[in-house]
A and B are shown apart, each in its own frame.
Chain A
Amino acid sequence: MTGLFSEVFLSALLFGAVTAAIPLLLAGLGEQMSEKAGVLNIGIEGMMLAGAYLGFVGAFYSGSLWLGFLTGAAGGMAVALVMALLCVRIGLNQIVIGIALTLGLEGLTALLHHFQFSRSYPRLPAPNPTVIPTLADIPVIGPAFFKHHLIVYLAVALVVAMGYLYRRTQLGLNLQAAGDKPAALDVAGIDVIRTRTIAVLSTGALAGLGGAYLANVGAGLFIPFITNGAGFLGIVLAMLARGRPVWVLFGALLFGVCLSLTTAMQVAGINIPTDVIQMLPFLAVMMMLVLFGRRASLPAALGIPYERGAR
């Protein structure tokens, strides 16, 4: 038990938490954008799977992790394109299409994996971390937070960029209006369909990137159903965050710590079913909702000024 809380263990735990949090963060940020624009994107799990598969294929055959991220984002975007055509342009039911896309990509990626990789289960080489000088030398925190692949820092920077996008740019306001009062946006002379399409396609790219990170950096290989509900967690995070990118980050880290704790306990050989720990983040969030439900519903009403700004 003494080894359990050693410095090495703690920094490995936190390192794992960040690695587990990044796909959730990207999915959550993506979903947030769709929801802001008024599209409930249940197909995000499918977009992540497409990104994970194509991201792995891209990285495996080209040998470049970055090309893998690119193909992954493109894969997520391709699925999002279907979603945008069916749900935004011709207005089919978002839940039906979203679930159908998720089911279809679960099947399709598992099928392709079976014919391509199931005999060899190839792995990617471990990614080269970008070590941030000085900061990485801090004990515990340094190796946990400042020795990641470059894309991790970019993902965190994206949180700031998204916050800027929503608060300070015309596009951000348009997105908000497309979700709050599309008719008003239309009257203002801005194409609601186009705004929502942009949002859904961005969601696809972010979810695909998240999936590619999960496969290429997190696991180093693609296995069927690798996302294992990460997309649905993204939906939960986006809804809990109430339109604020920074809350998606906090939420993703909370879930990341719990996911990392599950692996750490398996390694340490502690005899509790991992399911117990998997329940922790959900329990925490449900408790928060039960205790602060009323208070948490306040920001929803505070969303109105955005609508006025769009007018």
Chain B
Amino acid sequence: MSIDTAPTASATALDASSGVAARRDILRRVLMTIGPILAALVIAGCILLAVGVDPLAYYGYVLEKGLFSPLGIQQTLTRMAPLLFLAAGLIVAFRAGMWNLGGDGQFLLGAVTAAASAPFFVGIMPAWLALFCAFVVATLVAMIWSLVPALLRAYQGVNEIITTLMMTFLGTSLANVLVKLVFRDPGTTVPQTRTLPVEDRLPRLFDTTITSGLLFGLAAIVIVHLVMTRTAFGLKLRIVGANPRAAVHAGLGVPGLTIGVFAISAGLAGLAGAVDIIGVQGNVRADWNPAYGLAVIPAVFLARMNGFAAIGFVFLLSVLSIGGESAARRLGVPNHFTLVLVSIVLIVLALAEYVDHRYNQSRKA
């Protein structure tokens, strides 16, 4: 009997103090995020100690450069722009149950397309329209690139993990070939595309060095989040993700939706590349591959494909990568330590989520 009464009792209690409970829930989530990050910093600190680096100095530099110095925080926010687009693309795909692991290839092709087309468009039309056209072309190229895995998955049932992984290897090589053979700037000895003049790039925000791409990125991820959670189209995609067979029986055109999901996801990855080039880099050098996708994929999972949580994780990644670069330089450690730090943060966060889940379950039971 106690099992029957317990939920009603707690439900009434919840009604009475739902505001308090909601606040407590948010507080708990924040604690469950910050606690593991601190724990991860301690573990990573032990590794630093082991190789003879003062962890407090290292973290001090990370925070100083990544978060607290005016120039550093601007770099951090600028770094967020492409990561937000990538995260938005992954949220669409993962919520629809499609493992698009080809983000890096789509990103690079978008970047190369933008780098090649922007200087061309700038020559023949007003700057704002030129950038807009470059963005559109980059998005389209990335979308077309995703068509093969999408069609194979939609009509042949070929696993998309393998096809997107292969397409990402192909895309990385193809991007290099394009830079070295087709779009190479004849004026330089190093193989790279023509450099977009700074005044033609995306405007900076106000008087800072932050790219306005950040705003587009934030808009993209919020829109994606709202579409996926608040619209009929988003619901359709989530049904496909939860149970493709049930989706067929519900009368949804699963093949069409599959192709749509791939197009949106890849298009956003292509936009990420375009934003990085048109906003920040200005050109693509041969063999340039920041491999952002690999770090963003686990972050999106940890955010449980929630757009707002993903913004938080992307911010954390950016602080760690910008701050880590600076700290490594100042302390004479190779920058590779940032990878170790990110890895430990991801694992501890995943563990914390598991512990939290188990704790909640045992309390309910």
Which residues of A are in contact with B by a Cβ distance under 8 Å? 40, 86, 90-93, 95-97, 99-108, 110-112, 114-115, 224, 229, 232-233, 235-236, 239-240, 273, 275-276, 278-279, 282-283, 285-286, 289-290, 293-294, 296-297
B35 contacts A by Cβ under 8 Å: no
- Residues on A with beta carbons closer than 8 Å to the beta carbon of B173: 275-276, 278-279, 282
Since A107-B343, A229-B169, A275-B177 are in contact, a sample of 5 more A-B pairs with Cβ atoms closer than 8 Å, ordered by chain A residue number, is A92-B350, A96-B298, A104-B344, A282-B169, A286-B148
Size of the chain B interface, CB-CB below 8 angstroms: 46
Question: B159 contacts which of A86, A91, A239, A275 (Cβ < 8 Å)?
Answer: A239
Q: How far is the CA of A282 from the CA of B172 in the complex (A)?
A: 12
The 3 A-B residue pairs with the shortest CB-CB distance, nearest first, are A107-B339, A104-B343, A293-B156
Q: How far is the CA of A111 from the CA of B297 in the complex (A)?
A: 24
Question: A104 contacts which of B301, B302, B340 (Cβ < 8 Å)?
Answer: B340
B161 contacts A by Cβ under 8 Å: yes
- Residues on B with beta carbons closer than 8 Å to the beta carbon of A239: 159, 161-162
- Residues on A with beta carbons closer than 8 Å to the beta carbon of B163: 286, 289
For B181, give the chain A residue with the smallest CB separation.
Answer: A273
Shortest Cβ gap from A15 to chain B (Å):
24
Check if B174 sits within 8 Å of A279, measured CB to CB: yes
- Residues on B with beta carbons closer than 8 Å to the beta carbon of A285: 166
The binding surface of chain A is classed by DSSP as helix
Shortest Cβ gap from A113 to chain B (Å):
9
B93 contacts A by Cβ under 8 Å: no
- Residues on A with beta carbons closer than 8 Å to the beta carbon of B155: 293
- Residues on A with beta carbons closer than 8 Å to the beta carbon of B159: 239
B294 contacts A by Cβ under 8 Å: yes
Question: A279 contacts which of B148, B165, B177, B346 (Cβ < 8 Å)?
Answer: B177
For B336, give the chain A residue with the smallest CB separation.
Answer: A110
Q: How far is the CA of A246 from the CA of B338 in the complex (A)?
A: 39
Check if B347 sits within 8 Å of A97, measured CB to CB: yes
Check if A106 sits within 8 Å of B339, measured CB to CB: yes
Known: A114-B336, A296-B158. A103 touches B302 (CB 8 A): no
Check if A273 sits within 8 Å of B180, measured CB to CB: yes
Q: How far is the CA of A249 from the CA of B130 in the complex (A)?
A: 50
Shortest Cβ gap from B258 to chain A (Å):
14
Q: How far is the CA of A206 from the CA of B311 in the complex (A)?
A: 38
Question: B346 contacts which of A96, A112, A114 (Cβ < 8 Å)?
Answer: A96
List, sorted by A's number, 13 A–B pairs whose CB atoms are closer than 8 Å.
A95-B99, A95-B297, A96-B301, A105-B343, A107-B336, A111-B337, A236-B166, A273-B180, A276-B177, A279-B173, A279-B174, A286-B166, A286-B170
Check if B158 sits within 8 Å of A297, measured CB to CB: yes
Check if A86 sits within 8 Å of B336, measured CB to CB: no
Q: How far is the CA of A101 from the CA of B25 in the complex (A)?
A: 30
Known: A102-B294, A273-B180, A282-B166. A95 touches B148 (CB 8 A): no
- Residues on A with beta carbons closer than 8 Å to the beta carbon of B294: 99, 102-103
Check if A100 sits within 8 Å of B343, measured CB to CB: yes
B152 contacts A by Cβ under 8 Å: yes
Check if B165 sits within 8 Å of A100, measured CB to CB: no
Check if B176 sits within 8 Å of A275, measured CB to CB: yes
B235 contacts A by Cβ under 8 Å: no
- Residues on A with beta carbons closer than 8 Å to the beta carbon of B344: 104
Q: How far is the CA of A89 from the CA of B301 in the complex (A)?
A: 19
B3 contacts A by Cβ under 8 Å: no
B32 contacts A by Cβ under 8 Å: no
Check if B298 sits within 8 Å of A107, measured CB to CB: no
Shortest Cβ gap from B30 to chain A (Å):
20
Shortest Cβ gap from B31 to chain A (Å):
20
B215 contacts A by Cβ under 8 Å: no
Q: How far is the CA of A112 from the CA of B167 in the complex (A)?
A: 32
Question: B350 contacts which of A40, A100, A112, A294 (Cβ < 8 Å)?
Answer: A100
Shortest Cβ gap from A141 to chain B (Å):
30
- Residues on A with beta carbons closer than 8 Å to the beta carbon of B174: 275, 279
Q: How far is the CA of A101 from the CA of B161 in the complex (A)?
A: 18
B295 contacts A by Cβ under 8 Å: yes
Q: How far is the CA of A99 from the CA of B297 in the complex (A)?
A: 8
- Which residues from 233 to 281 on chain B have a C-beta closer than 8 Å to any C-beta of chain A? none
Check if A282 sits within 8 Å of B170, measured CB to CB: yes
Known: A95-B298, A95-B301, A103-B295. A224 touches B162 (CB 8 A): no
B327 contacts A by Cβ under 8 Å: no
Check if B340 sits within 8 Å of A108, measured CB to CB: yes
Shortest Cβ gap from A131 to chain B (Å):
35
B342 contacts A by Cβ under 8 Å: yes
B70 contacts A by Cβ under 8 Å: no
